[in-house]
Structure 1
Amino acid sequence: MKKRGILNAPLSSAIATLGHGDLVVIADCGLPLPLNGPIVDLALIPGTPSFTAVLDALLDELVVESALVAEECRGGRVEAWIRERLTHADFTPHERFKSLLASAKILIRTGEATPYANVGIRCGVPF
């Protein structure tokens, strides 16, 4: 058994395949995800797991090159959550954010029920 880190087997396995430039999306439970996408569905009940719990777990394991969030989250809790955890995030209209889902290597659905609690993380390298 793993001693620490992400224990969810499908998510842990998917993370192991990531490389430089790959896109990982952490999504709230309301974001419409592609039917044929690489989805890891962690949602259990509304609010569980939370967006921040999943983001924190991912940030502990990934090298982040950049992040992207919806313009519509500005001034709210989601922007605060992002700014507490990431040194920089770019903003884009929510409709444009949704158009990027098809290019994600991993789509992670949380139980988060806060509007626009979604982030796209572009993977970097540690060297």
Structure 2
Amino acid sequence: MRKSGLLNPALTAAVARLGHTDTFVVADCGLPVPHDIPVVDLSLVFGIPSFEDTLVALLDEVVVEAATIATTTPAEIRAVLPEVPIEEIDHEELKARLADASFVVRTGSTTAYANVILRSGVPF
């Protein structure tokens, strides 16, 4: 058993496959995901796990060089990304960009527009 870090085997495997500039998404439980994009579904019940807890756990594991959010994204979500350059786009454009994501992590969040596309960086 791992001592720390991500415990979900599907999420750990998806993160391990990321390369520089690959994108992945942390999403609320209602975001429509294209059928051909893998989903790591962590949702248990409404609110669990939270978007913020999931995002923080992933930021501890992945080098993120940029993020894309909708202009309607709540401020508390933006606050979790203080060191990450953020691009803001229309929510419909964000949904269109899901087609390029390596995978989506579905949380239990019911906060409207709690979705972020993260671009993987490198630690060197």
* TM-score interval, smaller chain: over 0.9
1:8 paired to 2:8? yes
2:95 corresponds to which of 74, 77, 98? 98
Q: Which runs of 5 or more structure 2 residues have no equivalent in the other structure?
A: none
Unaligned ranges ≥5, structure 1: none
Note the C-alpha offset of 1:85: 3.0
Give the TM-score of the pair, scaled to structure 2: 0.95
Instruction: Give the structure 1 partner of residue 25 of structure 2.
Output: 25
Query: Deviation above 4 Å: which 4+ runs of structure 1?
Result: none
Task: Give the C-alpha shift of residue 84 in structure 1.
Answer: 3.7
Q: Cα deviations across residues 3-42 of structure 1 (Å, max 9, x unaligned)?
A: 1000000000110010100001000011101122111011
SS of 2:25's equivalent?
strand
Equivalent position SS for 1:105: coil
What is the TM-score of this pair, normalised by structure 1? 0.92
Q: How many equivalent residue pairs?
A: 123
Matched, 1:81 2:77: yes
Say whether the 8 Å CA contact 2:30–2:110 is kept in structure 1. Answer: yes
Matched residue of 2:75: which SS?
Answer: helix
What is the root-mean-square deviation in Å for CA atoms of aligned residues? 1.0
Task: Quote the Cα distance in structure 2 between the aligned partners of 1:102 and 1:84.
Answer: 24
Q: Residues 47-69 of structure 1: CA distance to partner in whole angstroms, max 9, x if unpaired?
A: 00000010000000011110010
* Post-superposition CA distance 1:96-124 (Å, at most 9, x none): 00001111001011000000000000000
Partners of 1:28 and 1:80 in 2: CA distance: 14
Identity, % of aligned pairs?
Answer: 48
